Structure 1
Amino acid sequence: MKIRYENNKEKKEILLTNKDKHLIEEQNLVNGNFLIFSNTPILENEYKLILEKSDLEKVAVAEAIVDLNNRILELENKLLEKEGN
């Protein structure tokens, strides 16, 4: 949830109103100041991202292993062909 504020008084009011949520980011941009809240604690969010990244890395490693095994089979077949000739 992203909430825009104009001054420190508004910021404090927003923080008090949303004290049941977790402030994950504050943005001070040209087009305004924003507070970004989450219902999930930031550590839990980071943990989920780490798990997702870990899963993607596992998939990448598995794909690399399959590619290497295929290449090994190709080279073995070429070697067998040369030995047969």
Structure 2
Amino acid sequence: MLTGGADGDGPLQARAAEAIHQAVSAGELAHRVALGRDARRRIGIELNELRAECEAGREPAFSTDFPGPPTTRWSGLLSPGLGRQPKRP
């Protein structure tokens, strides 16, 4: 967290503000913006833990699949606009 309490924090805060501005101004918004190496390391740790948890549940998840190719039955649920009511003519 940037508190601004220490001398010399101004340049750090300016760099953080510039990074946030660039992320917001980009064409596609990121879900997270890692500011600094420590933040990136912590996000990496969380991703690794989530990946391990997901991989540990792989076999039980696959054992409950519907028969047939996975993209035919539920592909509409993953499309943009999920939950929106269709427009009526």
TM-score bucket (shorter structure): 0.3 to 0.5
Structure showing the higher strand proportion among its residues = 1
Greater RCO, CA 8 A, separation 6+: 1
- TM-score with structure 1 setting the length: 0.37
TM-score (structure 2 length as normaliser): 0.35
Whichever of the two has the greater Rg, that structure is 1
